[in-house]
Amino acid sequence: MSKVIRAYPWCAAHADDEDGALLPAEILAASVSKFDDSQFDLATKSGDYLARIQLMTSNSDKCKDGSFPMNNYALVKDQNYVDLGSSVDVLCVAWRPKALEMGEAVITVFDPSQAEFQRIQEKSSEPNSGCMYGPEYLLYVPSAKAWATFFMGTKSARREAPALKALLHKGATLSSHKIETPKFTWFAPRITKCSTPFELPEDMEELKEQVDKFNNPPVTEIEHVDDSSDARAR
Protein backbone atom coordinates (compact mmCIF):
# COMPACT_ATOMS: atom_id res chain seq x y z
CA MET A 1 0.00 0.00 0.00
CA SER A 2 1.44 3.35 -1.02
CA LYS A 3 1.86 6.01 1.62
CA VAL A 4 -0.49 8.99 1.34
CA ILE A 5 1.02 12.38 2.03
CA ARG A 6 -1.48 15.13 2.65
CA ALA A 7 -0.56 18.57 1.36
CA TYR A 8 -1.97 21.43 3.37
CA PRO A 9 -2.38 24.71 1.50
CA TRP A 10 -0.70 26.73 4.24
CA CYS A 11 2.48 24.60 3.98
CA ALA A 12 3.24 25.99 0.55
CA ALA A 13 2.43 29.49 1.70
CA HIS A 14 4.95 29.25 4.55
CA ALA A 15 7.61 27.16 2.81
CA ASP A 16 9.72 30.19 1.92
CA ASP A 17 9.58 31.82 5.36
CA GLU A 18 13.05 32.79 6.61
CA ASP A 19 12.59 30.90 9.84
CA GLY A 20 11.31 27.80 8.06
CA ALA A 21 8.09 27.70 10.11
CA LEU A 22 5.51 25.27 8.78
CA LEU A 23 2.59 26.54 10.86
CA PRO A 24 0.29 29.43 9.98
CA ALA A 25 0.76 32.68 11.87
CA GLU A 26 -2.29 32.27 14.09
CA ILE A 27 -1.11 28.83 15.26
CA LEU A 28 2.44 30.09 15.81
CA ALA A 29 1.12 32.92 17.96
CA ALA A 30 -0.92 30.52 20.08
CA SER A 31 2.01 28.11 20.52
CA VAL A 32 4.47 30.60 22.04
CA SER A 33 5.65 29.20 25.36
CA LYS A 34 4.87 31.12 28.53
CA PHE A 35 8.24 30.03 29.91
CA ASP A 36 11.54 31.83 29.23
CA ASP A 37 15.06 30.65 28.38
CA SER A 38 16.20 30.59 32.02
CA GLN A 39 13.42 28.13 32.82
CA PHE A 40 14.41 26.04 29.81
CA ASP A 41 17.97 25.91 31.16
CA LEU A 42 16.70 24.71 34.53
CA ALA A 43 14.62 22.00 32.87
CA THR A 44 17.48 20.67 30.76
CA LYS A 45 20.52 20.86 33.05
CA SER A 46 21.98 17.44 33.80
CA GLY A 47 23.48 18.20 37.20
CA ASP A 48 23.95 20.79 39.90
CA TYR A 49 27.43 21.83 38.90
CA LEU A 50 28.94 24.90 37.31
CA ALA A 51 30.09 25.29 33.77
CA ARG A 52 33.85 25.23 33.28
CA ILE A 53 36.22 27.35 31.24
CA GLN A 54 38.70 25.45 29.10
CA LEU A 55 41.51 26.57 26.81
CA MET A 56 40.93 24.52 23.66
CA THR A 57 44.36 23.56 22.33
CA SER A 58 45.47 21.32 19.48
CA ASN A 59 45.09 18.28 21.76
CA SER A 60 41.34 18.80 21.99
CA ASP A 61 39.23 16.47 19.85
CA LYS A 62 36.99 19.38 18.88
CA CYS A 63 39.99 21.33 17.60
CA LYS A 64 41.31 18.30 15.78
CA ASP A 65 38.05 17.82 13.87
CA GLY A 66 37.73 21.55 13.16
CA SER A 67 34.52 22.07 15.14
CA PHE A 68 36.11 24.56 17.56
CA PRO A 69 38.74 27.29 16.97
CA MET A 70 42.17 26.32 18.24
CA ASN A 71 43.57 28.23 21.23
CA ASN A 72 40.22 29.87 22.02
CA TYR A 73 38.49 29.59 25.37
CA ALA A 74 35.28 27.60 25.71
CA LEU A 75 32.51 27.81 28.27
CA VAL A 76 31.54 24.15 28.65
CA LYS A 77 28.32 22.81 30.16
CA ASP A 78 26.41 19.61 29.35
CA GLN A 79 28.52 18.96 26.23
CA ASN A 80 27.77 22.47 24.91
CA TYR A 81 30.87 24.45 23.97
CA VAL A 82 30.39 28.22 23.74
CA ASP A 83 33.26 30.07 22.06
CA LEU A 84 34.51 32.89 24.33
CA GLY A 85 37.26 33.93 21.94
CA SER A 86 41.05 33.96 22.13
CA SER A 87 40.83 36.05 25.31
CA VAL A 88 38.09 36.51 27.88
CA ASP A 89 37.62 38.95 30.75
CA VAL A 90 36.55 37.46 34.08
CA LEU A 91 36.03 38.35 37.71
CA CYS A 92 38.20 36.10 39.89
CA VAL A 93 36.13 35.35 43.00
CA ALA A 94 37.68 32.42 44.90
CA TRP A 95 40.08 29.48 44.63
CA ARG A 96 40.50 25.98 46.05
CA PRO A 97 42.96 23.08 45.62
CA LYS A 98 41.84 20.22 43.42
CA ALA A 99 43.14 16.83 42.30
CA LEU A 100 41.39 15.01 39.47
CA GLU A 101 41.68 11.47 38.15
CA MET A 102 39.78 10.49 34.99
CA GLY A 103 39.37 6.80 34.32
CA GLU A 104 36.60 4.26 34.78
CA ALA A 105 35.34 6.78 37.33
CA VAL A 106 36.03 10.47 37.77
CA ILE A 107 37.62 11.05 41.19
CA THR A 108 37.86 14.61 42.49
CA VAL A 109 39.59 15.48 45.76
CA PHE A 110 39.68 18.97 47.27
CA ASP A 111 41.74 18.40 50.43
CA PRO A 112 45.55 18.22 49.87
CA SER A 113 45.99 16.52 53.25
CA GLN A 114 44.07 13.48 52.02
CA ALA A 115 46.07 10.43 50.88
CA GLU A 116 43.92 10.23 47.75
CA PHE A 117 44.86 13.79 46.76
CA GLN A 118 48.54 12.95 47.24
CA ARG A 119 48.17 9.71 45.24
CA ILE A 120 46.67 11.59 42.29
CA GLN A 121 49.29 14.32 42.60
CA GLU A 122 52.11 11.78 42.46
CA LYS A 123 50.51 9.82 39.62
CA SER A 124 50.07 12.97 37.52
CA SER A 125 53.75 12.86 36.55
CA GLU A 126 53.19 9.57 34.71
CA PRO A 127 52.46 9.84 30.94
CA ASN A 128 48.76 9.46 30.03
CA SER A 129 47.82 8.90 33.67
CA GLY A 130 44.55 10.82 33.45
CA CYS A 131 45.60 12.63 36.64
CA MET A 132 45.87 16.37 37.23
CA TYR A 133 46.19 18.68 40.20
CA GLY A 134 46.37 22.38 40.86
CA PRO A 135 44.26 25.35 41.91
CA GLU A 136 40.69 25.70 40.67
CA TYR A 137 39.16 29.18 40.47
CA LEU A 138 35.60 30.38 40.69
CA LEU A 139 35.07 32.96 37.95
CA TYR A 140 32.26 35.18 36.77
CA VAL A 141 32.18 35.67 32.99
CA PRO A 142 30.43 38.98 32.23
CA SER A 143 30.21 38.41 28.46
CA ALA A 144 28.22 35.21 29.07
CA LYS A 145 26.59 36.32 32.35
CA ALA A 146 27.69 32.97 33.72
CA TRP A 147 29.53 31.45 36.65
CA ALA A 148 32.25 28.94 35.85
CA THR A 149 35.23 27.12 37.28
CA PHE A 150 38.72 27.25 35.78
CA PHE A 151 41.00 24.35 36.71
CA MET A 152 44.70 25.05 36.25
CA GLY A 153 45.78 21.44 36.60
CA THR A 154 48.52 21.00 34.01
CA LYS A 155 52.20 21.73 34.65
CA SER A 156 52.11 24.79 32.37
CA ALA A 157 48.86 26.09 33.88
CA ARG A 158 50.17 25.66 37.44
CA ARG A 159 53.14 27.85 36.60
CA GLU A 160 50.74 30.62 35.53
CA ALA A 161 48.26 30.06 38.39
CA PRO A 162 49.87 32.53 40.85
CA ALA A 163 49.13 35.33 38.39
CA LEU A 164 45.40 34.61 38.68
CA LYS A 165 45.59 34.26 42.46
CA ALA A 166 47.20 37.71 42.59
CA LEU A 167 44.04 39.07 40.91
CA LEU A 168 41.63 37.51 43.40
CA HIS A 169 38.52 39.71 43.74
CA LYS A 170 39.64 41.70 40.70
CA GLY A 171 39.23 41.60 36.94
CA ALA A 172 41.52 39.30 34.96
CA THR A 173 41.99 38.53 31.29
CA LEU A 174 42.57 34.95 30.22
CA SER A 175 44.54 34.54 27.00
CA SER A 176 47.21 32.10 25.86
CA HIS A 177 50.85 31.99 24.88
CA LYS A 178 53.05 29.61 22.95
CA ILE A 179 55.60 27.46 24.75
CA GLU A 180 58.40 25.89 22.73
CA THR A 181 60.96 23.24 23.64
CA PRO A 182 63.41 21.41 21.37
CA LYS A 183 60.85 18.61 20.96
CA PHE A 184 57.39 20.12 21.50
CA THR A 185 55.33 23.28 20.98
CA TRP A 186 52.03 23.95 22.75
CA PHE A 187 49.82 26.75 24.06
CA ALA A 188 49.11 27.42 27.73
CA PRO A 189 47.03 29.96 29.66
CA ARG A 190 48.31 33.50 30.12
CA ILE A 191 46.82 35.67 32.90
CA THR A 192 46.94 39.47 32.90
CA LYS A 193 45.11 42.22 34.76
CA CYS A 194 41.92 43.24 32.98
CA SER A 195 42.11 46.82 31.73
CA THR A 196 38.54 46.95 30.35
CA PRO A 197 35.57 47.80 32.60
CA PHE A 198 32.85 45.14 32.68
CA GLU A 199 29.54 44.52 34.38
CA LEU A 200 29.62 42.86 37.77
CA PRO A 201 27.04 40.23 38.74
CA GLU A 202 23.82 41.92 39.81
CA ASP A 203 22.45 39.16 42.04
CA MET A 204 24.40 39.37 45.29
CA GLU A 205 22.45 36.49 46.79
CA GLU A 206 23.50 34.24 43.93
CA LEU A 207 27.09 35.43 44.32
CA LYS A 208 27.06 34.46 48.00
CA GLU A 209 25.47 31.11 47.16
CA GLN A 210 28.08 30.33 44.53
CA VAL A 211 30.95 31.30 46.84
CA ASP A 212 29.58 29.24 49.74
CA LYS A 213 29.07 26.19 47.52
CA PHE A 214 32.53 26.55 45.95
CA ASN A 215 34.30 26.98 49.28
CA ASN A 216 32.57 24.03 50.93
CA PRO A 217 32.89 21.07 48.55
CA PRO A 218 32.88 17.46 49.70
CA VAL A 219 36.36 16.18 50.52
CA THR A 220 36.12 13.64 47.70
CA GLU A 221 33.70 13.11 44.81
CA ILE A 222 33.52 9.84 42.88
CA GLU A 223 31.34 9.73 39.78
CA HIS A 224 30.89 6.68 37.56
CA VAL A 225 30.37 7.91 34.04
CA ASP A 226 30.34 6.72 30.46
CA ASP A 227 32.44 8.26 27.70
CA SER A 228 29.67 10.66 26.68
CA SER A 229 29.35 12.28 30.10
CA ASP A 230 30.46 15.84 30.70
CA ALA A 231 31.94 14.68 34.00
CA ARG A 232 34.76 12.95 32.17
CA ALA A 233 36.07 16.32 31.04
CA ARG A 234 35.64 18.10 34.37
Q: How many CB atoms lie within 10 A of CB 73?
A: 25
For residues 173 and 193, the answer to whether their CB atoms sit within 8 Å is yes
For residue 181, pLDDT beyond 80 = yes
Residue 179 lies in a domain: yes
State residue 208's pLDDT score. Answer: 94
- Find residue 23's DSSP bridge partners: none
State residue 202's pLDDT score. Answer: 87
- Nearest by Cα to 105 from 233, 223, 227: 223
Q: Per residue in 13-33, is it b (16+ CB within 10 Å) or e — as a string?
A: ebeeeeeeeeeeeeeeeeeee
- Nearest by Cα to 220 from 55, 125, 56, 107: 107
Range of the domain at 170: 87-233
Residue 14 lies in a domain: no
- Range in 1-10, 51-60, 98-107, 197-206 the model is least confident about: 1-10
What is the mean predicted confidence (pLDDT) over 69-79? 91
State residue 34's pLDDT score. Answer: 67
State residue 109's pLDDT score. Answer: 96
With a pLDDT cut of 90, the percent of the chain lying above it is 57
Strand-pair category, 146-151 with 51-56 = parallel
The count of structural domains within the chain is 1
Compute the mean pLDDT over every residue in the chain, rounded to the nearest whole number: 84
With a pLDDT cut of 70, the percent of the chain lying above it is 77
Residue 147 CA, distance from chain mean position = 9
Residue pLDDT, tens place only, 7-27: 444 444 444 444 566 667 777
Residue 20 lies in a domain: no
Residue 48 lies in a domain: no
Residue 213 lies in a domain: yes
What is the mean predicted confidence (pLDDT) over 210-217? 94
State residue 233's pLDDT score. Answer: 46
Residue pLDDT, tens place only, 108-136: 999 999 999 999 999 999 999 999 999 99
Residue pLDDT, tens place only, 26-71: 776 666 666 766 566 555 555 567 899 999 988 888 888 888 998 9
Residue 203 lies in a domain: yes
Tell me the CA distances in angstroms from 151 to 12, 21, 39, 86, 94, one per residue in order: 52, 42, 28, 17, 12
Cα 81 to Cα 77: distance, rounded to the nearest angstrom: 7
Residue 228 lies in a domain: yes
Cα 52 to Cα 231: distance, rounded to the nearest angstrom: 11
Residue 21 lies in a domain: no
Higher per-residue pLDDT: 210 or 25:
210
For residue 222, pLDDT beyond 60 = yes
